[in-house]
Amino acid sequence: MKKKIGLAVVVLLVIIYLIGYFSYRSTPKIAVIPITGVISQYMDTVARIEKAQLDKSIKAVVIAVDSPGGAVGAAQEIYNAVEKLRKEKPVVVSMGNVAASGGYYISVPANVIYANPGTITGSIGVIIQHVSVAQVLKKLGIKVENIKSGQNKDILYPNNELTPEQKKILEETIKDVYNQFLEDIVKYRPVDMETLKKYADGRIFSGRQAKEIKLVDKLGNIQDAVKEAKKLAGLEGKPAVVIKIKKQDNLFRKVLENELSVSDFITFPQFFYLMSF
């Protein structure tokens, strides 16, 4: 008799769990995806965005950005992922302390961008650094030779000083990447190219200033952004669950799954959409 009661309790608990599980799965959700820190890696962020895109119970997404920017390639990967997500469901960005340069760039495709009045944003531009230790090596009597296939193969190597021709090459490349930044902004922001160029000289703005020149849409915090997302998804006044899609990637997991690469330990020369400090 006791065994039958115990089995009945277990079955009842399983039924309750299944009801709760399927009820939760079917409940409309607003997903919050945080993107914080310098943007260098993008695979995890793109995976989280794709997860929100494919989950049919997620009706809208809030991307909480708190980043000074980072590598151009990584920022463009995330920008493209947000762009694809927008085609499937509403996207609202909530800017925190800072969403500048690449942090602003990844925010651009959102349907609505919220910033706090004091959020630091803008810093639209491109930067690359070249550190030359040629004179120091010369004083120390150390000679380093680069065996290369072309005269510009070692253009950013620190044992060289840039020639005027090499500076021009870098400036032309920076200009092209900078123009890509501007083109991607005017694609989604209600600002024309000529007006944008007046402000896109690397300067930063407060959230309130950015709203005045239409780089952001509204002033408010993460709660306002979630409320906006519910509105865009047609869920105003209706039950909806707010969930957070957390970052899962970490160095320990990479070690376990043997996914470490040299890029986890070494930073190579690259172009940055990064706010200058």
- Asked if 269 contacts 66 with a C-beta cutoff of 8 angstroms, the reply is no
- Asked if 33 contacts 4 with a C-beta cutoff of 8 angstroms, the reply is no
Specify the 3-state DSSP secondary structure of 259: coil
49, with CB counted inside 10 A (0-12, 13-18, 19+), is buried
Given the residues 56, 138, 153, 168, the one annotated as active site: 153
Catalytic annotation present for 153: yes
Sign, CA dihedral 88-179-194-119, equals positive
Given the residues 101, 107, 123, 230, the one annotated as active site: 101
Report how far apart, in Å, the C-alpha atoms of 246 and of each of 13, 122, 217, 230, 251 are: 29, 26, 26, 20, 15
Sign, CA dihedral 193-177-277-49, equals positive
- Measured between alpha carbons, how far is 93 from 111 in angstroms, rounded to an integer? 8
Which residues are known catalytic residues? 101, 153
